[in-house]
Structure 1
Amino acid sequence: MAVMLILPAMTLRAEDKVDEAMVKATRYLMSTQDPGSGGIHNKMRHETAMTSLAILAMAACGNQPSDPTPEGESMRKALAFVLRPDAQEKDGYFGQADGSRMYGHGITTLMLSEMLGMGGDAAQDEVIRNKCRLAIDLILRSQKVSKNDSNRGGWRYSPDSGDSDMSVTVWQTMALRAAKNAGLDVPKAAIDDAVGYIRRLYQPDTENRGNVKMGGFGYQTKGREISTTAEGLLAMQVCGQYDTEEVKGASDRLLKDGIRPGERWFFYTTYYYSQGMYQRGGKHADAARRLVADLLLPLQSREGWWEGINGEERQGGKVYATAMAVLSLSVKDHFLPIYQR
């Protein structure tokens, strides 16, 4: 009986630490908000995309733009920054003005899709819907650019790219799925084609690991990199592919190998790993939840921010790393519809 009493208390303390970390992170994000424009970024680059990530992170903690709280006011102002006229091209593209290319376009479109019906007021809701619809239409047009069979169904750096890669494709796929979930018209064929591209990047392991068929996903060709394996795992499940060979193989490999702070794209990988393994459920979700907390909590500063560990992620600034860390830790709350199982 003593063990039964102790274990829940230990779990509660761990949960409290995660909640405290997310509160501190939210305060940090709010502290970086430009009082004039409403943008949340480190004045480095990709201001619209970074602000969109910050909005997603704050929403993942249970905040909404309509809340009569400092957090709600901050989100309303941040949304106004993303919705400003010069942030989006007439053709719907968000990746031009801030230089974030299709990466930023997918992130911003995902955020707007998640914020549909959640604006600060009716007027902001209408602008969100209109701009989100334009952004979705651009993603759909970009997918139809003529490509060879190996690249068909995916996306890359620019709307007119003739090739594709996993990272850009997953952001667009998540945006399409979120928009479809929210009631926007997204053809089933577009989702199916995206899944087809992602599936073609899957590579089964050649080594024998206890007769378990493991595998992973590559970047532009078949592969088993940790980051792209986590990306592919989440995207496949978000699109309804829960029990496929690819999902089982990727999740089992991630369960065995885990992730480490030395990963080249640590915060990026942790985000996809956390969300993808949560979708898988069971022992995969339990192991990932513990590991992500064990890895991220010691890395948070007293002020609430996280920072990229290597040079490439450092370029994104503290807002980027902090938002990705929050999205990784907040999996336990599943406030955002796209991340719900």
Structure 2
Amino acid sequence: MGALHAVKGLEDPPDFSVVPDSQWRAIEHSVDRGIAYMLSHQYRNGSYGIGELEKPAVTSLVCMAMISRGHLPSDEKGASDESKAIIQSLDYVLSCQRGDGLLGYSPQTLSSHNYTAFNFSKFMNYNHAICGLFLTEVYGMTDPKRAARIEVAVDRALSFTRREQKRRIAPEVEARDRGGWRYIGEPDINIDNFYSDLSVTSWVIMFLRSAENAGFDVPHEWAKQGLAYVLRCYNPSSGTFGYAPGHPHMATRGLLGAGTLCLFLTGHKDVEMEQRTAMRIKEHPFDRYNYQTNKREHYHYSAYYISQAAMQIGGNTWEQFYPPFADTFLHHQNPDGSWAAESKRPDLGQVYPTALSILALTPPYQLLPIYQR
């Protein structure tokens, strides 16, 4: 216990007065329109999204987006549509746990049109970490009966997470890849030989941090090994984080945000590193909507992580970043309340980027425990 303690921002705290009241009102209206759009796309089983493989993670992101605006789960008489929708989705996510503790799995996955062994391997640990994050964030907001179900599910999910962290890794890359997480099973040598990557690892670290916030047992060794892996992904010469250690060319804004956020969530304090990453955040704004700075970048995913990282750093970094960032998203919201499909993954539809856009706009609200500084 006690392994994950957030550190204060480098430029703590942010000055929210730099956002004028008119912009705050526009942000709130935009977020409410986005939530209304997502609500209209919920399936009868409580899920959201297009592909069966991705639905558990997309559903969890949608619910966290609603909670970030202050909607709490409830199915009591008189509860709002948003509150009832979160309950439906919560029950759906709880139903998507495999016997070994893996979250985000359902029998429908195996018969879906986009199922392949590689896709299953690739998406399941994303599903697992994002669903785990949602369950631990919502744990203290639910009725006792559902809280008990969440407790059982999260304990099993944490055990699965640790088994994945301790999985077999080829001896020649053991020192490089140990401590992190990636896809389930061994890597395809025809694609790459990474056993861990920062993208999956950052979601897992958020899950672990949220679980500890909620009172679950997260041993120190898990966090220590995870942070060691994240630090190996950092490139001091460029002040960026790569997809994997030793691959600085595989850096994106999303990975910069993910790596920076991991430092704060695990209590790592390195002023020089934080100064470099803060400078990079300010040097690479999001003023060109849905624009990829390189072919590896996912725009909305990157916006989500950078917005969280800027909030954690605080001060001048957040104050320079957030107002123009919010304007970009306000000006590019569709009339129906959605945001455009991810330019790199249009097949995921518009609910997914809409959830990420809301989560990128709402860190200042400080309503999700994982966002709190």
TM-score under structure 2 length normalisation = 0.81
1:137 partner letter? S
Shift of 1:245: 3.0
CA–CA distance in 2 between the matches of 1:297 and 1:174? 27
Q: Does 1:167 align with 2:199?
A: yes
2:132 partner letter? T
Q: Does 1:302 align with 2:328?
A: no
Post-superposition Cα deviations, 1:120-174, rounded to whole Å, max 9, x if no partner, equal: x221111111111111111111111233011011000116667100100001111
Q: Residue in 1 aligned with 2:350?
A: 318
Root-mean-square deviation (Å): 2.1
Q: Residue in 1 aligned with 2:129?
A: 106
Q: Residue in 2 aligned with 1:69?
A: 80
TM-score under structure 1 length normalisation = 0.89
Q: Does 1:217 align with 2:217?
A: no
- Rate the CA distance shift 1:60–1:149 in 2: closer, same or farther, 3 A: same
Match of 2:209 among 157, 172, 177: 177
Shift of 1:204: 2.0
Range that drifts further, 180-189 or 94-103: 94-103
2:34 partner letter? A
- Structure 2's unaligned 5+ residue stretches are 1-15, 110-119, 188-193
Shift of 1:38: 1.6
The higher-RCO structure (CA 8 Å, 6+ apart) is 2
CA contact (8 A) 1:45 1:316 kept: no
Query: What SS does structure 2 have at the residue aligned with 1:302?
Result: coil
Q: Does 1:327 align with 2:359?
A: yes
- Rate the CA distance shift 1:28–1:243 in 2: closer, same or farther, 3 A: same
CA–CA distance in 1 between the matches of 2:228 and 2:329? 33
- Structure 1's unaligned 5+ residue stretches are 1-6, 207-214
Q: Residue in 2 aligned with 1:209?
A: none
Number of equivalenced pairs = 322
Shift of 1:42: 3.5
Query: What SS does structure 2 have at the residue aligned with 1:115?
Result: helix
Query: What SS does structure 1 have at the residue aligned with 2:183?
Result: coil
- Rate the CA distance shift 1:26–1:251 in 2: closer, same or farther, 3 A: same
Post-superposition Cα deviations, 1:189-233, rounded to whole Å, max 9, x if no partner, equal: 111111110101111236xxxxxxxx0100013424322111101
2:22 partner letter? R
CA–CA distance in 2 between the matches of 1:178 and 1:136? 12
- Rate the CA distance shift 1:220–1:336 in 2: closer, same or farther, 3 A: same
- Rate the CA distance shift 1:201–1:333 in 2: closer, same or farther, 3 A: same
Range that drifts further, 160-169 or 127-136: 160-169
CA contact (8 A) 2:18 2:319 kept: no
CA–CA distance in 1 between the matches of 2:36 and 2:101? 32
Query: What SS does structure 1 have at the residue aligned with 2:20?
Result: helix
Match of 1:155 among 167, 178, 181: 181
